[in-house]
Amino acid sequence: MNTSLTFKTPWGWMGAAASARGARAGVCRIVLPRGSRREVEATLHRESLEVLWGKGKTSRLAPRTRCIPRNTGSPARLTVLVEEARAQLVAFLEGKRRALDFPIDLSGGSTFQRQVWRAILRIPYGRVRSYKWVALRVGGARYARAVWHALGSNPVPIVIPCHRVVAQDASLGGFSGGLKTKRRLLALEGTLPQLLPRKRNG
């Protein structure tokens, strides 16, 4: 069972979905700011159908990293969870909060993806790290490209702060939510000046 919520933020419309597995529940998907409610709802709806039908060609996320429908967890419990996620995300984007502490569900990711995502959680607010830095913590520099792909499949951006990972040459690198959003998140956290001025456009 999944519960999702679409909500307005100072940066645009966002979405969050939560799932439960036994006694544990967590947010399993966050949709970054979009121009309209309809765009966010369409993304959440499309991904839920792709999981049910086993299709995955039209989503940025790898099939295994999307919310997995389960028959556990009460709707009320999951509703409380996505409402808490909404409140914290709005406060974060307003600059009123630096940490997000609602539970997340990463069970849809592969073992390697979860390893990468946990490494990213160690990057504090106001700091940036390189893809190589992450790779060295999950097996070695040769995994840098695999790290890049794992970050692109991050189901809960901002909570798992993949926007804090930049290229070795201090350019922005990539971001599933688009470089404009990545740049804005880095500016919010005060880390954009840490990048080379000539490289800020990626």
For residue 7, count CB atoms less than 10 angstroms from its CB and return exposed for 0-12, middle for 13-18, buried for 19 or more: middle
Q: What is the pLDDT of residue 199?
A: 46
Q: What is the pLDDT of residue 67?
A: 65
Q: What is the pLDDT of residue 70?
A: 53
Per-10-residue mean pLDDT of the chain, 202 residues long, equals 90 94 85 96 80 41 50 75 97 97 93 96 96 95 93 96 94 92 96 71 45
Element (H, E) at 167: none
Q: pTM value?
A: 0.85
CB-side exposure of 20: number of CA atoms within 13 Å?
Answer: 18
Cα distances from 191 to residues 94, 112, 125, 129, in angstroms, run 16, 28, 9, 11
What is the Cα–Cα distance from 200 to 76, expressed in whole angstroms? 44
Active-site residue 67, yes or no?
no
Q: What is the pLDDT of residue 76?
A: 85
Which of 78, 100, 147, 162 is catalytic? The answer is 162
Backbone angles phi, psi at 3, to 5 degrees: -130, 135
Give the pair of three-digit tokens for residue 131.
């893809």
Q: What is the pLDDT of residue 24?
A: 81
Question: What DSSP character marks residue 62?
Answer: -
